[in-house]
Structure 1
Amino acid sequence: MLFTDYLYENAKEIWDKYLEHPFLIGIGEGTLDKDKFRKYLIQDYLYLIEYAKVYAMACVKSRNMKELKKFHNGVSGSIETETANHIMYLKGFGEKIEELEFKYKLNMTNESYTSYMKSISVTGTIEDIIAGVLPCTWSYNYIGLKLKEKYKDKLEGNFYESWIETYASDEYVKFRDEWIDFANEICGNLSSERKEELKDVFVRASQYELEFWNMAYKGE
């Protein structure tokens, strides 16, 4: 069994809850309250800034050029590529992008999640960092593909179509596959005990993803 298959099998119960979440069902159906979405985007924009710092720490800990390039791409992907869709929506909501990180603060769920990942990046190894960042990248593609498949005949005119298409796109699938392959390459030959430790990191980060959706829907 591939290392990432092992991770997924242990987090599947959590990931299934993503697809049942009212926030994401609302996105798929186009019925989600737009102010909830605006507040979510602001928190996710702030999240991505902190997320990029985790990759930056991995750059410091990289053991060779291949790892350095990979984690450097993670930094640029987080703060440039992935924020592009956020920025489009947020501008539509009248938000000034250059003011976001000064106008708004991380809420408690967001701060707890990003602090966990940053602590992993400081105290852990390259392998720990991979296990910590992978649920975000992978689960967003998982969600995007599932939503597009389920609502493919209802996306026209859906306010959230661009969000769904971003995470279901061929480019994002390629991005996900590259990180899954990288994780299997770096972590695939570790001991069973070490894989168990990394599984715990992956599952915990997956649970934080669920809490992020809860926060987005219920407010905080």
Structure 2
Amino acid sequence: MSLACALWAANADWAQRTLAHPFVRGLGDGSLPVDSFRRYVAQDAYFLEAFARAYAACLAQSTERADLQAFAGLIAGVMEELKLHAAYAERWQVDLTSVTPAPATQAYTGFLVELAGLGRIGLTAAAMTPCMRLYAFLGQELARGPVAATYAEWVRTYAAAEFEALAATLEGLVDWHATDSPAVRNAYRRAMELEYGFFDASL
């Protein structure tokens, strides 16, 4: 089993807990209040900008052409997500120009920025992978059942093969650069906890 797969398997409890969260279930069945989704969109746009900067730090630290290409592609993927958030913002009148990060958002972005500043690509990639793999998992799981029209675009985006490919790219970088260590395992699990907290704070 690859390191990325082992890390995901070791955190299956958090994945299932997040899938069962009322926010996530509400995305699938349409019961999530629009005001909750508005809060989420604003906070997630703020988060994604920090996520892109963490990718950029990894790109700057890269010495191999394959890594440069991989991180450049991952940054492009974040920019596509931000376009989706801009469309949400226009549809539901969300101001993305002056977002005040909530404590859960500050905790998550601070965690990623701090790790990225250490200059260890493998550790940073391990901390970033849960966001990608978890969202792919949530999208694919929700897409297995009936999906209400209200948030169907969200589900389709994260269930799509294109997003799965991005998650797999990042997992490949973990396998290439990270070692199975307490630091890597702790960073991965901490990110899974922060993901749950992010959804929880948006309700």
Structure 1, unpaired ranges of 5+: none
CA contact (8 A) 2:4 2:175 kept: yes
Deviation at 1:73, TM superposition (A): 2.1
Residue in 1 aligned with 2:108?
Answer: 113
Is 1:85–1:162's contact at 8 Å kept on the other side of the alignment?
no
Residue pair 2:70, 2:169 contacting (<8 A) in 1 also: no
Q: Which amino acid aligns with 1:180?
A: E
Q: How does 1:83-122 map to 2 (within 5 A)?
A: 83-95=82-94, 100-101=96-97, 103-122=98-117
Q: 2:176, 2:107 → 1: CA distance? A: 29
- Aligned-partner SS, 2:63: coil
Aligned-residue Cα RMSD (Å) equals 1.5
| Aligned partner letter, 2:198 | F
Deviation at residue 195 of structure 1 after TM alignment: 3.0
1:183 aligns with 2:174: yes
Q: Which digits, 9 at most, give the CA deviation of each residue in 1:53-72, with x for residues without a partner?
A: 10111122112222122222
Q: Which residue of 2 aligns with 1:200?
A: 186
Corresponding position of 1:81 = 80
Aligned residue-pair number = 203
Say if 1:132 and 1:202, in contact at 8 Å, map to a contact too: yes
Match of 2:198 among 212, 215, 218: 212
Name 2:120's counterpart in structure 1. 125
Give deviations 1:119-138, integer Å, cap 9, x for gaps: 00002401011101101111
TM-score of the two chains, using structure 2 as the length reference? 0.94
SS of residue in 2 equivalent to 1:123: coil
Which of 143, 148, 151 in structure 2 is aligned with 1:148?
A: 143
Q: What one-letter code is carried by the residue in structure 2 that aligns with 1:205? A: A
- Cα shift at 1:176: 1.8
Superposition deviation, residue 177 in structure 1:
2.0
Structure 1 length normalisation: TM-score?
0.87
List runs of 5+ in structure 2 lacking aligned partners. Answer: none
Q: Is the 8 A contact 1:110 1:212 kept in 2?
A: yes
Aligned to 2:46: 46
Residues in 2 aligned to 1:182 and 1:120: alpha-carbon distance in whole angstroms? 16
- C-alpha contact 1:145 1:167 (8 A) present in aligned 2: yes
Cα distance in 1 between the residues matched to 2:168 and 2:50: 23
Partner SS state of residue 82, structure 1? helix
Q: Which has the larger radius of gyration?
A: 1
Identity of aligned residues (%): 24
- For 2:3, give the aligned amino acid: F
Structure 1 segments of 4 or more deviating over 6 A? none
The SS at the match of 1:48 is: helix
- For residues 115 and 213 of structure 1, the distance between their equivalents in structure 2, rounded to whole angstroms, comes to 17
